[in-house]
């Protein structure tokens, strides 16, 4: 393990490559409580990467399933009364049984789902909060220019709020943007791979949340897990863009490349930097 606050980038690349190998070998079972828009794409991202998705999102089964799963995703993209209830229940099952869970607080800022996200956080700490800048700001109680799921704030605007979320919940915060920032109490890394088209297809961000839960199921260092998920998706996206005429082709090629990309390439092309203060 790197010393506190000092990450060696070559070592980080190696840890990421190893995590990708482990994902494909161990095929973690990932319970997803996610939205109706991206459920299909998310399942296909997980399958292509090497994980096993299970979209169990009703209140009757969510707690028990979370105990058995390797990772749990709670995504607030299209909450309904019943699935919102299941999200809190699943978080409880995860916390009780030490299953790592990931919060992807899509669209918080709208009042009702903000409460759902806070209720889930109240149950116990997630392994990772994966969000865009506006959602990080909102979740930390700061002002955000909420304009639906497309964030209007920059990652840099959200860093102070991210530090606060890390402190309040003792978790990793992973902020998506042109450059992704991933931080915990001691470390802060950035991932500069990826492509603008990742925002031109619905569900890429949401599937990053799911992939983060998958990696958290095979990698106990959750900052490495979040970095691995981000790099795997971003490197696959770079490869996919090279052979895509438009966002339709890109969405499909992204699934292919998650299946095809090698662990070494993910580590090497990830574009990691240590920016620990």
SS3 label, residue 264:
helix
Among 2, 28, 71, 79, binds a copy of itself (CB under 8 A): 79
Q: Please give the annotated binding residues for ATP, written as ranges.
A: 130, 176
Phi and psi at 117, nearest 5°, equal: -65, -40
Report the chain's terminal Cα–Cα distance, integer Å: 18
Question: Is 99 among the residues that bind a copy of itself (CB under 8 A)?
Answer: no
Among 107, 217, 263, 270, binds a copy of itself (CB under 8 A): 107
Question: Is 55 among the residues that bind a copy of itself (CB under 8 A)?
Answer: yes
Question: Is 48 among the residues that bind a copy of itself (CB under 8 A)?
Answer: yes
Taking the C-alpha atoms of residue 109 and residue 115, their distance in angstroms, rounded to an integer, is 9
Taking the C-alpha atoms of residue 55 and residue 73, their distance in angstroms, rounded to an integer, is 9
Least Cβ distance, residue 77 to a copy of itself (angstroms): 7
Question: Is 63 among the residues that bind a copy of itself (CB under 8 A)?
Answer: no
CB 14 within 8 A of CB 55: no
Find residue 131's DSSP bridge partners: 175
Least Cβ distance, residue 213 to a copy of itself (angstroms): 14
The secondary structure of residue 157, as a DSSP letter, is: G
CB nearer to a copy of itself: give 72 or 227: 72
Question: Is 143 among the residues that bind a copy of itself (CB under 8 A)?
Answer: no
Find residue 74's DSSP bridge partners: 33, 103
Question: Is 189 among the residues that bind a copy of itself (CB under 8 A)?
Answer: no
CA distances from 156 to 22, 97, 182 (A): 32, 35, 12
Among 18, 21, 26, 54, binds a copy of itself (CB under 8 A): 54
> Which residues of this chain interact with a copy of itself, rule CB under 8 A?
29, 31, 35-41, 43-44, 47-48, 52-58, 60-61, 64-65, 68-69, 77-83, 107, 110-113, 147-150, 200-203, 244-249, 251-260
């Amino acid at each position: 393990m790197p010393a506190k606050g000092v990450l060696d980038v070559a070592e980080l690349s190696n840890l990421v490559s190893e995590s990708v190998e482990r994902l494909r070998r161990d095929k973690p079972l990932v319970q997803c409580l996610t939205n109706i828009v991206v459920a299909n794409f998310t399942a296909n991202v997980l399958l292509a990467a090497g994980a096993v998705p299970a979209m169990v999102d009703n209140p009757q089964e969510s707690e028990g399933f979370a105990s058995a799963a390797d990772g749990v995703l709670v995504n607030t993209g299209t909450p309904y009364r019943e699935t919102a209830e299941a999200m809190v229940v699943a978080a409880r099952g995860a916390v009780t049984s030490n299953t790592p869970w990931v919060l992807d607080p899509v669209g918080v800022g709208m009042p009702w789902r903000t409460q759902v996200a806070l209720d889930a956080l109240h149950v116990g700490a997630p392994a990772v909060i994966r969000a865009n800048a506006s959602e990080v700001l909102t979740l930390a109680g700061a002002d955000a220019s909420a304009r639906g799921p497309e964030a209007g704030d920059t990652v840099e605007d959200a860093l102070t709020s991210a530090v606060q979320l890390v402190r309040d919940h003792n978790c990793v915060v992973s902020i998506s943007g042109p450059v992704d920032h991933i931080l915990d109490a001691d470390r802060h890394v950035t991932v500069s791979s990826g492509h603008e088209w990742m925002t031109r297809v619905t569900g890429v961000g949401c599937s990053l949340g799911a992939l983060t839960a998958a990696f958290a199921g095979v990698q106990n260092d959750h900052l490495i897990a979040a970095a691995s998920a981000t790099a795997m998706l971003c490197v696959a996206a770079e490869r996919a863009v090279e052979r895509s005429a438009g966002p339709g082709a890109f969405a499909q090629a992204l699934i292919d490349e998650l299946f095809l990309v090698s662990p070494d390439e993910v580590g090497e092309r990830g574009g990691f930097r240590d920016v620990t203060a």
